[in-house]
Amino acid sequence: MTSALYDIPGPKALARHRLYGGIALLVILAGIGWVVYMLFDTDQFTAEKWRPFEYKGIQRLLLDGLGNTLKAFALTALFALPFGALFAAGRLSDHRVVRWLSTLVVEFFRAMPLLVMIFFIYVAMDIEPLWALVAGLTLYNGSVLAEVFRAGVLAVPRGQREAAFALGLRKTQVMAYVLVPQANRAMLPSIISQLVVALKDTSLGFLITYEEFLHAGKLIATNLDYDLPFIPVVLVIAPVYIGLCLLLSWLARWVEQRGRRSPKVKGGAPIAKAGVAMGLPPVVREPGRDR
């Protein structure tokens, strides 16, 4: 099939593209080689700098820090998702006061710098570092998720909403049975992206002495007994964060693929489901009518 945006490249264009790709690959490999050379040249792979990771105490410190990071992230996701859903519903409310108050809350916490918010909660409210970190992450990421949820619901075609109201459904039933099930597919990538941001932002906990993964790495990297192994610590911690983010992305793709196979999000399934919930008889289509 031909493309509607550009012509299919011919033999010369394909050869030119391969040449550009080969040059780009060589440049990338040269950059990687230069970085590796500099690491060896500055003695970052010496046994002395990597010896700390052989000790049980250092390994336990890193594992405890990773566990604290996952704990803070799990609590943030647990609170931020309902927070976002609640204020998204408030912004979609027909009541002007509720809509304005929800908008004020969402816009305020979206505009507030996250680090300032965490410090304020930690110092002003004098609570434990874990809960100060979770509270700041929840308020910020929950406000962003509120906009994601609102945009997802508004992206559903208006006819779906009107058809549901024509069946006699209340607004809460329209949201629960018609709009949200169809909006989930559009919202899912943005939700996972924001959760990845929340996972990475847990590293701000080390600034308020929360003993998370980055805080554990900082304790090791500033240890004079091991000749300040900054680079080895980065080479150990960075792949863990990258792996966790890739795991969340894989989870998002898996959920999205399951959603595509689900018949509940295709065609008029949400409307039919809402009608059944209202006690209406199911619609039976005649063969060939949908063609």
- The CATH number for 164's domain is 1.10.3720.10
**Structural domain of 242:** 49-277
Structure token pair of residue 103: 């908008």
What pLDDT shows up at residue 186? 77
**What does the pLDDT look like over 136-160, one tens digit per residue?**
999 999 999 999 998 888 888 878 7
Range with the poorest average pLDDT among 59-73, 107-121, 238-252: 238-252
183, part of any domain = yes
Output the CA torsion sign for 15, 16, 19, 21: negative
Q: Is residue 195 part of a domain?
A: yes
Pairwise CA distance, residues 111 & 173, whole Å: 33
Please compute the mean of the pLDDT values over residues 179-189 and round it to a whole number.
80
pLDDT in tens, 22-40: 999 999 999 999 998 988 8
Rounded CA separation 225/127 (Å) = 34
Within 13 Å of residue 22, how many CA atoms lie on the same side as its CB?
Answer: 6
Tokens (6 digits) for 253: 């793709």
- The pLDDT confidence band at residue 260, using thresholds 50, 70 and 90, is low
The answer to whether residue 66 sits within a structural domain is yes
What is the pLDDT at residue 10? 81
Count of Cβ atoms closer than 10 Å to residue 220 Cβ: 21
pLDDT band at 254 (very low <50, low <70, confident <90, very high): confident
pTM: 0.77
100 within some domain: yes
pLDDT at residue 285 is higher than 50: no
Over residues 237-257, the mean pLDDT reads 85
Q: Contact, 137 vs 76, CB < 8 A?
A: yes
| The pLDDT of residue 286 is above 50 | no
pLDDT band for 80, please (50, 70, 90 cuts): very high
Q: Which of 108-122, 164-178, 263-277 has the lowest mean pLDDT?
A: 263-277
Number of structural domains in the chain: 1
Does a structural domain hold residue 4?
A: no
Q: Is the pLDDT of residue 272 over 70?
A: no
Q: What is the pLDDT of residue 284?
A: 46
Task: Output the 3-class SS for the chain.
Answer: CCCCCCCCCCHHHHHHHHHHHHHHHHHHHHHHHHHHHHHHHCCCCCHHHHHHHHCHHHHHHHHHHHHHHHHHHHHHHHHHHHHHHHHHHHHCCCCHHHHHHHHHHHHHHHHCCHHHHHHHHHHHCCCCHHHHHHHHHHHHHHHHHHHHHHHHHHCCCHHHHHHHHHCCCCHHHHHHHHHHHHHHHHHHHHHHHHHHHHHHHHHHHHHHCCCCHHHHHHHHHCCHHHCCCHHHHHHHHHHHHHHHHHHHHHHHHHHHHHHHHCHHHCCCHHHHHHHHHCCCCCCCCCCCCCC
End-to-end alpha-carbon separation of the chain, Å?
24
| Residue 101 or 226, more confident | 101
CA 14 to chain centre: 37
- Whether the pLDDT of residue 198 is over 90: the answer is yes
Query: Worst-scoring range by mean pLDDT, 113-117, 185-189, 268-272?
Result: 268-272
118 located within any domain = yes
pLDDT band at 173 (very low <50, low <70, confident <90, very high): confident
- For residue 18, being part of any structural domain is answered with no
Residue 10 included in any domain: no
Tell me: pLDDT of 79 over 90. Answer: yes
